[in-house]
Amino acid sequence: MPSASDLRVAWYRFRCTFGQRWTGYLALVLLLGLVGGLALGSLAAARRTQAAFPAYLASTNPSDLTVLTGNFGDGPSGYDPALIAKIAALPGVRHVTSYVGLNVAVLAPDGSAPGGAGPVPASVDGEFFSTDRVTIVAGRMADPDRRDEAVIDALGTPPQVHVGDVATFGFYTNAQAARLNAGQPVKPLLRVNITVVGKAVFSSEGAQDDVDTMRNGGPLFTPTLARQLAACCSSYTETAVQLTESGNSAVAAAEQRIQQILPTGFPVEFYVTSVTESKAQRAIEPTSIALAVFGGIAGLAALVIAAQVIGRQLRLGAGDLAVLRALGSSPAGAVSDGLLGVVCAVVAGAVLAGVLAVGLSPIAPLGPVRAVYPSRGVAFDWTVLGAGAGVFVAVLFLLAVGLARRQAPHRAARATRAGPGSGTFWVRAARNCGLPASAAEGIRLALAPGSGRRQAPLRSAIGGTAAAIVVLMATVTFGASLQTLVSHPALYGWNWTFALNAGSPSYIATGQAGELLSRDPAVAGWTGIYFATARIDGQTVPVIGMSPHAAVAPPLLSGHGLETTGEVVLGSATLAQLHKRVGDTVTVQDGGSSAFPLRIAGTATLPSLGASGTLHTEMGTGAVFSYRLIPGTVASQPNEILVSLRPGADPDAARARLQRLVPAANGGTVSGVQRPAEIVDYRTMGTAPALLAAALAAGAVSSLWLALMASVRQRRKDLALLKTLGFTRRQLAATVAWQATVTVVVGTVVGIPLGIGLGRFLWNLFARQIDVVPEPVVPVPTVAVVIAGALLIANLLALLPGRAAGRTPAAALLRSE
């Protein structure tokens, strides 16, 4: 440990040498602040993004669950206030609010309703206004005391509908709506001119896949209008329930009590808010993990870059250490020389990194939740800021101490006796190949470290270049793999081309369809599937039913596909929730007469498939077992048919032929890729990842430029000697360019395979975390561009050092030898 006198000497030396070393200290502060701030900002953005949906949901005064409490059948109304009152009186229920689906049609100027009538939500007593509040993203909220105002769903509403538009709506009784939809002319019970005063997002829309978004769009009417029409014109009612206690057990108990008071034969439909929150968290996870991975790479780059600058700073004063020891300084005092300035610069750089991270905080959260996040703007994540800055200071302090010890006089003497080192072989090879003298000398300066006071930061320059290439290639490999995932649906579960749905009725007669599909030369394979839910080991799980050995099936992650009726294939997330492994047995209850066991054959990346507004399979969530185990299924009437086309087939022509199997007049659809919420969420990130990567590249380029400048300063005497021997300014500049080129080539040769390996490793971890097929991609054209770009940048960066070399004062420098 240095004594008090050692510290006084260090302080004196810091003040005396500050004028010579301040540029190095400033470079350390700026580089650590830029790249370190990028790292801390990315990590903070990852945490803020992952926590965004719970924070948003809490701001909406959420209910704990929603239950269907009215369903129009043979009666005059789908609104039952007596049932709602019974639910409100149950133990554990704190508050209830409801909304009804009013039978509504947009009227043409002549009063007709060409689009028919459909249910549109209208708040009865504050649902969506005070409980489960919608978030206004344009305009304002509708006045609950006025019946002529409404807000529209911002997600799914046609873009031609704007705030301020006025439309005439007709409201119909259930009987009138039935006649109208049957094609009979019906005069509405009530006509109202309603003004769109705002656009809103519902909390249930926070993270949706393409199946969910089919329900988006349409207006939300006010309580005043709902109370006027609920008794006559509502086709259904949903009641939101807030409980006195939170947690899954409280929700399960409330569901049990509510089921006991529902009328016999009444459909039981629960919508649990915690399920939506969990789904949103899963959807946001890829974005937050990708940000965290980038932050980790940037943090590693910050440490490497700062270490190079610290090493160069400490080497500047290495020649004075022997003098200090001769004047009586202790070994600890000699080590402390120059360390004080470095430590102060590291602390300042860490503080600047924290400031930059706070400045970057408004870019988060990323994804769809950003539009509705309640507290956008500057944020202070003290966990990331404190821990990150502490790690930077602690690691770089220990590193600086280690490098300072290496500069101790006895270690420096051994380094001096070590001789000129390697590099002479390559110099001789360059001369034998007939390369000009500037090329041979540039190779020598790049590969021969020299000795004594002429020892150059060879390892620092090459190591810095290699580190920059490693960081760049890891980022490029990870980013290319992410783009491949987004653009290849088979990797996230959509392992076919089209899904055929017959509309209403919702069954497809596969006898005729199968014959046509089998004869179609463009069709490689097809299979019919069924949608259902089942309780597997007590947990409710969405199910796809299909035949064993189906020609088309979700892509596997482990084990094997469905081969017998006694097997089940699970999503990886469902497997983890059940705490099971491939080969274990689970107990399934799917509404049949009794439960039955199934053996887990494997895991798969499951697609987003099912009916909108229902529990359906998602990436990593759900189960696949034989359709014969689902009650009520008939082999020739699946819910959908999955069709895979042959390579090279014309998808447009095939789609037109397939549409004839499911006529559009009956609501039949031939749908393409249905993206999971994770992919939908990622595609909303915009240019933020590219901007972060560009800032990281700027930091790496700055580090390389500083390394070249330091090398030229350290080699001034070599350059002066070359100038004395007759080198022109152009030859000296060419020598520095060759030095930069060789440094980059060696760093690239080392860095590219290491960076690709790191990127593949990080991608495989990421893919397993989000339950997709792990397929890392090495973008060969991008690698070639990186190599060419690195050489170009190296030569551009060598221009200023080359000009400085040409102005080297040869006589003055050689006289000082």
pLDDT on residue 178: 82
Residue 257 CA to residue 241 CA, distance in Å, equals 12
pLDDT over 70 at 335, yes or no: no
Read off the pLDDT of residues 164-218 as tens digits, 9 standing for 90 and up. 889 899 999 888 888 888 788 888 889 999 999 999 888 877 666 666 665 556 7
Helix or strand (DSSP H, E) at 64: none
The first and second tokens of residue 131, run together, are: 């409980």
* CA dist 328 → 331, 401, 637 (Å): 9, 21, 95
Instruction: Collect all residues with Cβ–Cβ distance below 8 Å to 532 and sequence separation of at least 6.
Output: 542, 543, 545, 590, 591, 630
State the virtual CA torsion across 210, 215, 221, 225 in degrees, nearest 10: -170
pLDDT on residue 765: 83
pLDDT on residue 402: 77
486 and 772 in contact (C-beta within 8 Å)? Answer: no
User: What are the helix (H) ranges across 125-168?
Assistant: none
Residue 11 CA to residue 339 CA, distance in Å, equals 10
Residue 639 CA to residue 505 CA, distance in Å, equals 10
DSSP 8-state secondary structure symbol assigned to residue 107? P
* CA dist 538 → 254, 271, 590 (Å): 17, 18, 11
569 and 577 in contact (C-beta within 8 Å)? Answer: no
Read off the pLDDT of residues 705-745 as tens digits, 9 standing for 90 and up. 666 666 656 666 676 777 677 777 777 777 777 777 887 88
Residue 169 CA to residue 174 CA, distance in Å, equals 16
**Residue percentage of the chain with pLDDT more than 70:** 76
State the greatest distance between any 2 C-alpha atoms of the chain, in Å, as a whole number.
109
pLDDT over 90 at 435, yes or no: no
191 and 212 in contact (C-beta within 8 Å)? Answer: no
pLDDT on residue 533: 82
Residue 540 CA to residue 574 CA, distance in Å, equals 10
Which residue, 184, 176, 70, is CA-closest to 121? Answer: 70
Q: Where are the domains of the chain?
A: 1-64+246-417, 93-245, 431-491+679-817, 495-672
801 and 712 in contact (C-beta within 8 Å)? Answer: yes
337 pLDDT band, cuts 50/70/90, is low
Strand partners, 237: 70, 100
The first and second tokens of residue 375, run together, are: 């507290």
Residue 512 CA to residue 251 CA, distance in Å, equals 46
560 pLDDT band, cuts 50/70/90, is very high
Residue 253 CA to residue 246 CA, distance in Å, equals 11
566 pLDDT band, cuts 50/70/90, is very high
pLDDT over 50 at 419, yes or no: no
Q: What is the mean pLDDT of residues 32-46?
A: 88
* Range from 321-325, 478-482, 648-652 carrying the lowest mean pLDDT: 321-325
231 pLDDT band, cuts 50/70/90, is confident
Residue 150 CA to residue 166 CA, distance in Å, equals 10
